[in-house]
Amino acid sequence: MPLYHPSEEFVSQANVSGMDAYRALYERARDDPEGFWAELAEEHLDWFKKWDRVLDSSQAPFYKWFVGGRTNMTHNCLDRHCKTWRKNKAAIIWEGEPGDQRMLTYRELARLVERFANVLKNRGYKAGDRAIIYMPMIPELPVAMLACARLGITHSVVFGGFSAEALKTRILDLDAGAVITADGGWRRGKIVPLKPAVDEALADCPGVRNVVVYKRAGNEVELVAGRDHWWHDLNAGADDSCPAEELDSEHPLYVLYTSGTTGKPKGIVHATGGYQLQVSMAMRWVFDIKEEDTYWCAADIGWVTGHSYIVYGPLLAGATTVMYEGAPDFPGPDRFWRIVDKYKVNVFYTSPTAVRAFIRSGVEHPEKHDLSSLRLLGSVGEPINPSAWEWYYNVIGGGRCPIVDTWWQTETGSIMISPLPGATPLKPGSGAFPLPGVAADVVDGDGASVAPGSEGYLVVRKPWPSMFRTLWGDPDRFRQTYWSQIPGVYLVGDAARKDKDGYIWVLGRVDDVMNVSGHRLSTAELESSLVRHPSVAEAAVVGIPDELTGQAVAAFVTPKQGVEAGDDLAAELRGWVAKEIGKFARPKQIRFSDALPKTRSGKIMRRLLREIVTTQKVSGDITTLEDLSVIDRLAAGQSED
């Protein structure tokens, strides 16, 4: 496995410069975690009142951070920057899918946030209330989030691709009193209507008193008298000044719903004080953010990546953050590279799934654009297979940009495992080491650390500031799901291994580890093998019941453009896997499709693939799917061994 070392030039200017600097930070945090986080909280954030205690573990696993401290997220994202030269710095650069664009300075963003906070205040909302935000990727989405945070209204952003039923479930669970939405947004050249889904959901949600509607797409909508209001009408009469509420450090900032195995979404609760500290430090350590950087996280704010690394993290760091409304391949496969070139993006953060889609579309699309402004690349969402890593590094990064392959979750709030770009020699496919203050380990079922090279469960042994506090309205499920299987340890649900150098390799969800004829196989290992084949653009693998072997491998494969899918290719791929891993790993089934089922955030929905191979249909929730037609295509076209 080749090691990729950061250049001397990169190391010399890095916020964490060299492995000795990383080790010093890590050891300082390990030896005195409370002192470590307290120093950073004082140095990098403003507090209306300093905390009485850094960490309260008395009711573990319901930990509390910076107990007694009072702060406000928007004060740290906006107000403190507006007291400096940054008031005229670009906070958000936004591009709509049709090509329209806006640039908001910190001062202008603060004005919009304070004005909309007054809109909410004038409708009677205050700290402790809850609001649902269901909007396209437009600047008013972070404005709404920040306005809620300014007043202490706990917000929950619902991804704009969710159905009315999914929206209703979240409104009811949160007992939200307000919905902030838009008429619609743009996706692949078409208007995606949002307000009609709100109307349908609210037929069963009597607790919602007000719906605020931003006019984005111009599609016709109905307004319910007394309940529904145009954003621009309410905004016109609002004052520009709204002081930030002095909130308790543990005040719930947001609730973000994730899918659960029971079918009932889990409401992940993140508090204010600890969360803002850790996402702020990740911007400094992982993204090596500089004052002059233009930073782009190409996720959707409907997912935690967008919360932490489009909105809150970059603004806490005083950075310039790019937002893009639409699809990465509209009107052509080079849209992302056109944006990088146009705004001279320096730091680019996307998913392995997106990288594999870029590979499939061909090198001619990035080669049409000047990507020389890039100095750092990032990956998020799932393990990135080494061949995709190499392509990303060489084609997009020109062989000069370190890649930060980050591991974290909705539950962790912030990046937990990642290379530090000016310190860590890179191994393609590995997340490298835990960040300072993160006590990650790979353990067996009893919680004992496994030997180097062995697989085990990824865990976090000690609390961390950006950790989720509970599940909304369901503390028992919080304790049982995450903290009971290995007492006192956070079980993240991923399999992993540590190599002899201490690098952590995340292998995917524990339920994505198969046992074939007594051999434990991770989906990540099998998928990496398939994608290394020159005819394969993308692959996903799941286990299926087998009378002989216990489990067998079912592979879903997207061939590269111009490659003919069929029995000959299937046979070739089976032989390829047998040679790379072993005959026992040969896929029993191979299904070809031009796409795999993914969420808009880029995650492959393996749960749906398991349903296809076991029942030939999908009965579970598919509301987060990017393209519903993919399911029908995958259910057909099966090649048996």
DSSP 558-624: EEPTTPPPSHHHHHHHHHHHHHHT-GGG--SEEEE-S---BBTTS-B-HHHHHHHHHHSS--S--TT
DSSP reduced 3-state for 310: helix
* CA–CA distances in Å: residue 102 to residues 109, 111, 357: 11, 15, 28
Q: At residue 581, what are phi and psi to the nearest 5 degrees?
A: -120, -45
**Segment 461-475 mean pLDDT:** 98
Structure confidence at residue 597 (pLDDT): 78
* Bond into 331 cis (ω within 30): yes
Give the number of residues written for the chain: 641
Q: Is the pLDDT of residue 603 over 90?
A: no
Name which of 326, 374, 321 is nearest 348 in CA terms: 374
Q: Is the pLDDT of residue 115 over 80?
A: yes
Report how far residue 51's alpha carbon sits from residue 40's, in angstroms, rounded to the nearest whole number.
13
Structure confidence at residue 95 (pLDDT): 98
Structure confidence at residue 125 (pLDDT): 98
Structure confidence at residue 164 (pLDDT): 86
Structure confidence at residue 513 (pLDDT): 65
Report how far residue 456's alpha carbon sits from residue 442's, in angstroms, rounded to the nearest whole number.
5
Residue 334 corresponds to which amino acid?
D
Mean pLDDT of the chain: 92
Q: Residue 31 CB: number of other CB atoms within 10 A?
A: 9
More confident residue, 438 or 541: 438
Helices (H), 237-351: 273-285, 304-306, 313-316, 335-343
pLDDT of 418-430, one tens digit each?
999 999 999 999 9
Q: Is the pLDDT of residue 262 over 70?
A: no
> For residue 475, how many C-alpha atoms fall within 13 Å in the half-sphere facing its CB?
6
Q: What is the CATH number of domain 517-640?
A: 3.30.300.30
Considering only 103-112, 443-452, 513-522, 537-546, which range has the smallest mean pLDDT?
513-522
**Segment 128-137 mean pLDDT:** 98
Q: Is the pLDDT of residue 630 over 70?
A: no
Structure confidence at residue 398 (pLDDT): 97
Answer for the pair 510, 543: CB distance below 8 angstroms, yes or no. no
Per cent of the chain over pLDDT 90 is 76
Report how far residue 45's alpha carbon sits from residue 41's, in angstroms, rounded to the nearest whole number.
6
Report how far residue 269's alpha carbon sits from residue 254's, in angstroms, rounded to the nearest whole number.
6
Q: Is the pLDDT of residue 623 over 50?
A: no
Token pair of 520 as six digits:
């434990």
Q: Residue 485 CB: number of other CB atoms within 10 A?
A: 14
Using the structure block, give the residue that is written with the tokens 């590279």.
337
Token pair of 67 as six digits:
């107990």
Token pair of 530 as six digits:
């398939």
* CA–CA distances in Å: residue 530 to residues 102, 537, 575, 602, 639: 42, 9, 11, 19, 15
Answer for the pair 79, 113: CB distance below 8 angstroms, yes or no. no
Report how far residue 418's alpha carbon sits from residue 282's, in angstroms, rounded to the nearest whole number.
10
Answer for the pair 486, 446: CB distance below 8 angstroms, yes or no. yes
**Segment 304-331 mean pLDDT:** 97
Q: Residue 88 CB: number of other CB atoms within 10 A?
A: 11
pLDDT of 190-212, one tens digit each?
999 999 999 999 999 999 999 99
Answer for the pair 129, 147: CB distance below 8 angstroms, yes or no. no
pLDDT of 543-598, one tens digit each?
887 766 667 889 999 999 899 999 999 999 999 988 877 777 889 999 998 888 77
**Segment 523-531 mean pLDDT:** 83
**Segment 403-415 mean pLDDT:** 96
Structure confidence at residue 624 (pLDDT): 47
Report how far residue 197's alpha carbon sits from residue 624's, in angstroms, rounded to the nearest whole number.
14
**Segment 216-237 mean pLDDT:** 97
Task: Provide the whole-model pTM.
Answer: 0.86
Report how far residue 470's alpha carbon sits from residue 472's, in angstroms, rounded to the nearest whole number.
6
Structure confidence at residue 601 (pLDDT): 59
**Segment 275-301 mean pLDDT:** 97
Structure confidence at residue 99 (pLDDT): 96
Report how far residue 103's alpha carbon sits from residue 85's, in angstroms, rounded to the nearest whole number.
17
Structure confidence at residue 261 (pLDDT): 46
Q: Is the pLDDT of residue 626 over 60?
A: no
